[in-house]
Structure formats: structure tokens, C-alpha cells
Structure 1
């Protein structure tokens, strides 16, 4: 592994890796790490779903989760409105200051930092602002894997409790909007297939797109050590729509969107990339329309679910109030503590005993008289 350049030795560079989960983001972050970029520690540990490691800083994961939770957005949210909600977060000074402070600490350790998390794509603008304040060069890598293969990979890794339609909607919403959000930034869309089968020329193309150093200047030993990270055998899903139960309009829109995004991906062969922004804009609008139609169709179900949830919350609140009232009634009544030096309060039974003793004493005295 190439040792990350020490702080102050080189201009600062912040590289963020986004895109849909299960699309090669971990592999790219791992390659960047082995080629000299610092992954903030501690990071998420490897597991069976990602045996080579995630490359995700735990601080960033928690930070992104908190921000998304504050506006009721999930990391794979399929609602176009979710981007409007998250925009409010990106404008928060507190969030900007917190991120800038954390990144500043990382730049104290290394001049080159890479941050990767599937949730990060929601906050690309926030990271761009922090990089600017810290006088760091900023680049965005968006990994692109075919949507059918991505959804299959998620189902294999996380199970089938979430329907394929929901996952596909999340992929479309994420990929089409992050493309729009990163226009005008130094960015590189990277095909998963290219990274897995020919990572060296792929990273060389990323270098040109972002004006950063990844493979340039690396010796054969460094590159050979990095080769070990790339294992095509870890590709466990096939590129096929067969078996995925999806509405045809959604499947067709996902296929068209993938083709349009692929057209702006970095070219390993040196061919000029097209920039079909008009087409991508139309696809994004088409998705929003499709989602709006689906939402309108199930409005009754949504209203019924909300009403059911309100009843549940109301019932739970009333039960808690009832339990509190019962607890107050059943709580034992405590006598107030006696002042220091005063006699302890006499209980009712003690008074009965004392009264009985006085009565017997009176009878005995009367007999003696």
C-alpha cells in the first residue's frame, strides 16, 4: 500500500465516493486507499456481504444517518421529494461546521482523504462546501452498475424483505438526482464492469477526469499489491431482468437511465464521452411523474396506513396514562418524616395497645382501692 502523503506535503485533496450501494463503491475506496488516500478511522469492519471491507468511516455513517433521520429520509429513498427535504440539511450551518471540523482533523493526518458511504450521495453539496472552506481540491466518483444486477446484489446481501420495485425506485431516484447534483463539479462516473476487469486503465481515466494522482508514478510493486484487492469471483449476481418482479414502465425507465448514465462514464478506451444532459433531465422528470402516478394510485392505502398508525399511537399513549394513574393510586402513603429529636409518629395499632394498657391499669387500681 502506498503511504498517504503527510499533511502539508501536498495540496489537500478530498475524494468522495457515492452512488447506489452494491455497485462497487467499496472496491473503489479500497483501491484509492492502497494508492495513497487516507480512509478516516475507525471504519466499518468487513463481513460476509463484503469480505474485502467496506471502506466506510464510522463517523461519516453516523453523521449521514442523523441528518437523514432529521428529515425522515432513508438512504435508499425512492421519493423525488426526498431530495428537496435533504436540501434543507445541506443548508444547515451546524451540519457544515461539524463536517468541516471532522475533515480538518483528517487533513491533519493526511493531505489526501477519501470518504465513502452509500448515504453520502445525498450530501455531495455539503462536502463540496466543506472542501472549499478547507482549501481542498474536491472530486466525486459515482459508481455505475446495471440496475438489475444492483438490485439482485442487494437482495442477496440483505434479504428479500424489501420488494424489488422499492429497490429499483431507490436506484433510479439516487442515480438520476446525484447526476444532476454533481453537474459543474469535478466528477467521474465509473462503470462497475470496468473497475472489476481492468482497474488500472479505469483509474487512469479517473485521474484525467478529476486531475488527481492515483496510478501515475506508482511502481510495479505498488500496483501488484493493489491487484490483490480486485477479485472478479466476488461478483455473485448476474446481469438479467429474469426473476425480478417489476412494473414494466419502471423496468424500461431503469434500462434507459442506465444507458444514458453509461454514456457519461469515464472512457477506458479513450473515446469521447457524450453529455446527454437533456435526456437525463427528461428521464428524471419521467421518473418523478411515474412515482407521482403510483403515489396517487395508492393514496387510499397511504391514508389508511396513516390513520392506523395514529390510532396505534393514541392507544399506546392512553395505555401509558392509565398505567401512570394506577401506579399513583397504588403507591403506599408515606408518613412525613419526624423532625430531628421528635418522637416517632405513633401508628394506629400502637395507640390501641397503649389505650388497652391504660384501661387495665385503671381497673387494677380501682380494685386495690
Structure 2
């Protein structure tokens, strides 16, 4: 019978998202930490609780793959077919065993794993461990501000890093046992959070006593939280912020466990992938320049440290010279005392005068030698002082040169920042332009229908000018309830009603709502039929402006003329009726005229029908 497999509590979430707080809490309750812990820093005073050797292997591997921990682009799938996959899966398995040995319940936290789950599934299979995922979520603006403080990243880049890590972690762990937790809830009431983790993952923590709970209470110090999100109603027009806020909303609630929630997260991730493909080179260039500026600042800091070290050495030499001068003064005093003693001895012992004279001569010679030594030492001190001044002057010149280099680097950074801001403003102007808003529907539908080719015998007449109107989402004209109730096969297939209509429904003559008659519209607008154009799109982009009606039961021109508020709004008449007029009891067409008052045009239209 084989040994029972270890359970790995895989703590996942973006950098600065509270993964360290969660990992430390799990450790207080009895989960094993790695032996080779990353040391604490000023950015994380209580520790990171992650294996240093595994983090270093990740950084080395990412660098070889042309990526980094702060890369916002998707990790390349082709890498898993490279020789590095086998090499690093083996190295990581070895590092896992070194850190955890035979522990039955371990906590593994290393944020780079967010983007490397396929690699780690191989590692877990190799070491015989079962991963159970705890995905922690913190407000993206708090994370972005923390990254700005620690790493100097601008807020948009911090939000992109949060999105990449959270979305990749959620997408690649859907098949694994997992639970979602919120950082605010962990800090405010960790007991309920840990109880939910135990229930969701089917585990029981060894530390259940009062002492273990007291350790957690002491560990989760709210004062270490330096960044808080703004109020919920803070305005924001930045697309990246909107993505992050929507993803945070889904990941913070029960919606993350539903198909609808996962589909919404997939849409955000796909939009992020497209955006990073377009902007990743610019972001990478900015990051390289930021790293270069940091390197120069670090070099300047090292030079400043060297200068201070030289100043310390000079101060020590000055102290030693002062001490030597004191010793020489003491020797001078001793010589003086000896001379006085010799004079007193000569007076007291006249008979020994010759001996004293000889001794005095010897002492005189010693004094002369001492004076020579003093002079030599003073010359040495002067030379040292000269060298000190020269070193100080050289260091000053070097610092001035470094300041010049730093100023140049800052100027380059400022210019790049101005260029980025200009490009951002230009992009924002395009997105805010009337043409961009008016063509929103066209861009959306462009993916659903290949452009039709013009036949050689067909000429294209320019569309008559139309007045500006608010952009209309074509989906607004699809009455989902009507469509599902009328077409049983669509309801039974569980297909998306809009996808069905734009791909096959209109070709089969199906109606998107009770007032839009697809076949009737194509008969009365043959140009749409000739071009193979979706009649609903033709009506929105061309037909309504030319006075075409969606069907026999709705007279758009009459509806606008009869309702001045509709004319003033510039809103599509059919859309206004579906959104407002129907509930308000407004009429869709003039009362049916008697046969004697039938308008010739109406008669022709009826005949055509």
C-alpha cells in the first residue's frame, strides 16, 4: 500500500494581494512552511513565507523564456514543448523535496505560480502531492498603489499586473479543488474565512487550540496595511480600471463559481490578451528604461556609500594623528620633567656632576631624535591631509559626473512619459469621438458576418446623408423573451438568441421582435437582399434614416412625427418604442384609414406586400 500523498495548500493571487498574510495564518494553524524562507524586508516586515530557491528558479526560467514576474503578456504556451520544461520541472521537484520533505500538509506560496500551473501540475505529480487552491483577492487599486510604492510602477501597469495574475490563476485552476477568499474579510474576521477554507477543501488544520488562535490574532496586524481602495463611487473612465473592477467584483463573490461568472472573466482575459499584444512592447520598453534608471540610481547610491566610507577613514586618520600629537606632547612633558630632575640631581649631588652631564648629553640626544621623529610625523600628517583633500576633490568630480548622467536619464524618462501621455490622450480622443461611438454596432457585428463581395454588374450608390444619432447596440432590438417563446428549437438548443439570429435566424426569415418582420423588410428593401446584408443591421445603419419601416405594424416616420420627444432625442423610433413607448401605451402606426381615404403610397405598399 503506497504512502499517503501530501496535501499542498497552494496560495495564489497577485503580488501584494495578501498572499503573505494568508500563508502566515495557515502556518500559525499548523501547515508546514518551506525550510528555505525568503527573508523579510521593509516592504513585508513579517515575512513573505515563500521558498527563496523556488522563487529564484522561477525568475531564471522566466528570463530564459523572455518574460519576468511583472510581465503583463500571456506566458507562451509553446514553452511547454521546449527542453526547458523538463529541466525546470525536475529542478522544482527537487527544490520542493528540499523545502518540505515528508510533511503531510504544506503551504506553498510563490506568486509566479499564477502563470505556471501546467508546469507545477507536473511537479506535483512527480513528488506525489495533491494541490488544493486558495485564491485570494484584494482590491486592484490597493495592489497597484502598493506596487507603485515598492517598485515604482505607474498605476495602470500595476492594474495590468493584477489582472494578468488573477485571471491566469483563476482560468488554469478551474479543474482543481479550490476556494476564493477576500483579503478584507481575512483581516476583519479570519475565523470565518478559515472555516470556509476547511469546509470547501475538505481539510482540518492541526492548530485548533486557543494558543494557535492567539498566534493568528497577534500575526494579523491591520496596522501593516498601508494602502486602501477609494470609495466605491469614485469616478473612473480608464478601461483598464473598469476591467480590474469588474474582475474584482466577480472574484469577490459567489459569481466566480458560476458559468456566467467564468464566461465574464474569460471575456476580460481575452480583451487583456489583445491589449497586451498591442501594448506589451511599449510597456516592456518603459520597464527597461525604468530598470536602467534604477541601476544608475543604485550606482550613485553605491558611490555615495563609498564616499562616506572614505570620509570615515579620513576621520579615523585625523583621530589617530590627534592621538599621536597627544602622545608627543606627553613625551615632551616627560623630557621636561627629566631635565628638571637632572638639574635637581646636579644641585643635590655635585660629586656626581660628571655622570649627570653624560646622562644629560644622552638625554639631549634622545630629545633631538624625538624632535626629528615629531617633524617626520608632522610631514607625514601633512602628506596624508593633502591626499585626503585630493580624494575629496576627486570624489566631488565623480559625483558631479554621476549627477549629470542621472539628469540626462531623467530627461529621457520625462520625454518618454510625455510621449506616452500624448499617445494615451490621442487614444482617449478617438474612443470619445462621435464616429467611434456611432460605429460601435458596426464593429461588433463585423466579426459575425464576412463582408459581401460586390457583383461586377452591381453598382454601389453612396448612402444619403443621415443626421447624427446616438449609437445603437443591435442587441437592443432583439426581444429575447419573444424570440425564445416563438422559436422552440432555439429554446431547446440552449443557444444564445442573439448569436442564433445574426448567424442563421435572419437567413431563415425569423423575426427578432414582434414589430420587425424580416421577410417583409427584405421585400421592401431589395438592396439589403441583393447585398446579402443582415436586415436588422441594414435598418439600423441605413434603412431607418431613409424612412424604411421595420414591418407592416410600425410606421417610423409617423411615430417620430406624433411624438416630439422622440424627434428631439434623435433615438431610433423602434428602439424607443421597445424601451419606452410600449410601456407607455403609445401607438405604432396611424389608425387604419377607410378604403375611400387610403393614401396612394400606402396602397402601393400594401399591394407590394
TM-score in terms of structure 1 length: 0.69
CA distance in 2, matches of 1:174, 1:146: 13
Aligned to 1:31: 25
- Greater shift in the superposed pair: 120-129 or 23-32: 120-129
Equivalent in the alignment of 2:157: 166
Corresponding residue for residue 119 of structure 1: 112
Q: 1:30 to 1:218 in 2, by over 3 A?
A: same
Residues in 1 aligned to 2:175 and 2:255: alpha-carbon distance in whole angstroms? 15
CA shift, 1:141, in A, is: 1.9
Distance 1:53 1:32 in 2: 14
Say if 2:145 and 2:158, in contact at 8 Å, map to a contact too: no
Query: What SS does structure 2 have at the residue aligned with 1:76?
Result: coil
Pairwise CA distance, 1:68 = 0.7
Cα-to-partner distance string for 1:143-194 (whole Å, 9 max, x where unaligned): 2111111101122233x3x222222111112211221111101122221111
RMSD: 3.2
Counterparts of 1:68 and 1:101, CA distance in 2:
18
Given that residues 76 and 171 in structure 1 are in contact (C-alpha distance below 8 angstroms), is that contact kept between their aligned partners in structure 2? no
Match of 1:290 in 2: 275
Give the distance between the partners of 1:173 and 1:11, measured in 2 at CA: 31
SS in 2 for 1:260: helix
Q: Distance in 2 between matches of 1:78 and 1:189?
A: 23
Corresponding residue for residue 69 of structure 1 = 63
> Relative contact order (C-alpha < 8 Å, sep 6+): which is higher?
1
**Displacement of 1:245:** 12
Shift of 1:205: 0.9
TM-score (norm 2): 0.43
Change (3 A) 1:87 1:246: farther
1:146 aligns with 2:122: no
The alignment status of 1:258 with 2:248, answered yes or no, reads yes
Cross-structure match for 2:172: 181
1:182-331 pair list within 5 angstroms = 182-214=173-205, 218-240=208-230, 248-264=238-254, 274-275=258-259, 276-294=261-279
Unaligned runs of 5+ in 1: 1-7, 267-272, 306-369
State which drifts further: 133-142 or 104-113. 104-113
Q: Is the Cα–Cα contact under 8 Å of residues 27 and 230 in structure 1 kept in the other structure?
A: yes
**Separation of aligned partners in 2, 1:241 and 1:151:** 16
Do the aligned residues in 1 keep the contact of 2:132 with 2:201 (CA within 8 Å)? Answer: yes
**Structure 2 contact 85–119 (Cα < 8 Å) conserved:** no
Aligned residues: 284
Per-residue Cα deviation, 1:6-50 (whole angstroms, up to 9, x for no partner): xx7x75111222211111000111111111122112211112211
Distance 1:99 1:246, change over 3 A: farther
1:77-156 correspondence to structure 2 within 5 Å: 77-80=71-74, 82-84=75-77, 87-88=80-81, 92-156=85-149
For the 8 Å contact 2:79–2:85, the answer to whether it is kept is no
Distance 1:84 1:246 in 2: 34
Name the SS of the counterpart of 1:67 in structure 2: helix
C-alpha distance in 1 between matches for 2:255 and 2:235: 28
Q: Structure 1 residues 208 and 101, CA, compared in 2 at 3 Å: closer, same or farther?
A: same
Conservation of the 8 A alpha-carbon contact between 1:90 and 1:96: no
Distance 2:155 2:235 in 1: 7
SS at match of 1:115: strand
Q: Secondary structure at the match of 1:51?
A: coil
Aligned mates of 1:90, 1:27 — CA distance in 2: 36
Deviations 1:194-217 (A, max 9, x none): 1111111101111222222237x6
Q: Compared with structure 1, are the counterparts of its residues 228 and 98 closer, same or farther at alpha carbon in structure 2 (3 Å cutoff)?
A: same
Identify the range of structure 1 (128-137 vs 168-177) with the bigger mean alpha-carbon deviation: 128-137
Query: Cα distance 1:108–1:252, how it changes in 2: closer, same or farther (>3 A)?
Result: closer
- Post-superposition CA distance 1:115-157 (Å, at most 9, x none): 2122121222222222223332211222211111110112223
- SS of residue matched to 1:142: strand
Give yes or no for contact 1:100–1:134 (8 Å, CA) kept in 2.
yes
Tell me the equivalent position of 2:503.
none
SS in 2 for 1:190: strand
Note if 1:18 corresponds to 2:12: yes
Cα deviation 1:307-332 (Å, max 9, x = unaligned): xxxxxxxxxxxxxxxxxxxxxxxxxx
Q: Is the 8 A contact 1:148 1:241 kept in 2?
A: no
**Equivalent residue, structure 1, for 2:497:** none
Q: Describe the superposition over 1:43-99 as per-residue Cα deviations: whole angstroms up to 9, x where unpaired.
A: 11112211111101111111111111110111021113x343654579822222222
Look up the SS of the partner of 1:55 in the other structure. coil
Counterpart-to-counterpart distance in 2, 1:167 and 1:250: 10
Change (3 A) 1:123 1:130: same
